Amino acid sequence: MISTTTAKIINSLPDKLVTYISKKIVAMYLKKYANINIVGSENLKGIQTPTIFICNHLSNSDGLVLGKVLKEIDPTFVAGEKLSHDAVTSIGVNVVKTTNIKPNTADKEGLEKIIKLVKQGESLLIFPEGTRSRAGSLLEAKKGILLIARMTGAPIVPIGLYGTEKLLPINKEGEMRAENFNYADVHINIGKQFDFLKRAKEQDKTEYEEFILKYMMNKIAELLPESYRGVYK
């Protein structure tokens, strides 16, 4: 990745120039290192929008790759604040539209902003696990996606991806700025859009939430090789 000093210089420029340079840098890295293979592109034709894309999360390169694949729809990515606070990782954030949310908190302001975006016609991309999987396979999803899906009423498109954990591996010490690109085959599998299943009056709330969360995550798991399915095998 570029140095912290270079990243800080870029981020000090006018916003339009920052975005332009950041896009050039990311495009260069993806062209050089990523061999992107896409399955299911036909499932994007004629879909209802706004929609919510849900995807497993393996690397900080996930958003960069998905931004390229979903360029025509151009969704807003729901991202943790930590990415924007680091000069180097913010270069990636500059490439795609993002809205921040505080991880593992009841971020009412962040949720209200997300819901408002969808109501205004903006599609979203959410990583339901809430963090990158260091195990390289699906983790148990957070319940935030349930609230967003229920309050927006937007249909959902599942995506399974793998290979990004090799493209931009997670740094073992947790230093995101120390992560480096490697040559890798990246696979994107786009599923069919489906409607969020509403709770029946007779359904217990806890049982319903467990069921619908598992239902949604299984939609992602079905698009992944078995070794990547983790807790949703």
> Could you give phi then psi for residue 88, rounded to 5 degrees?
-75, -50
* Cα 68–Cα 230–Cα 44 angle in degrees, nearest 5: 30
CA 103/CA 75 separation, integer angstroms: 20
Structure tokens belonging to residue 42: 């036909």
Q: What is the largest CA-CA distance in the chain?
A: 58
Q: Which of 77, 214, 225 is nearest to 137 (CA)?
A: 225
130-177 pLDDT per residue, tens: 999 999 999 999 998 998 999 999 999 999 999 999 999 998 887 877
How far is C-alpha 25 from the chain's CA centre?
A: 20
Residue type, 127: F
Question: Whole-angstrom Cα distance, residue 80 to residue 92?
Answer: 13
Q: Residue 104 has what pLDDT?
A: 63
| Grouped pLDDT means (10 residues each) for the chain, 233 residues | 71 84 91 98 96 97 95 91 59 82 74 92 96 95 91 96 97 82 97 92 90 97 98 93
Give residue 10's pLDDT.
77
Report pTM.
0.91
Can you tell me whether residue 42 is helix, strand or coil? helix
Nearest CA-CA partner of 91 in 186, 218, 3: 3
Per the rule left: phi > 0, alpha: psi between -120 and 50, beta: everything else, 136 is left
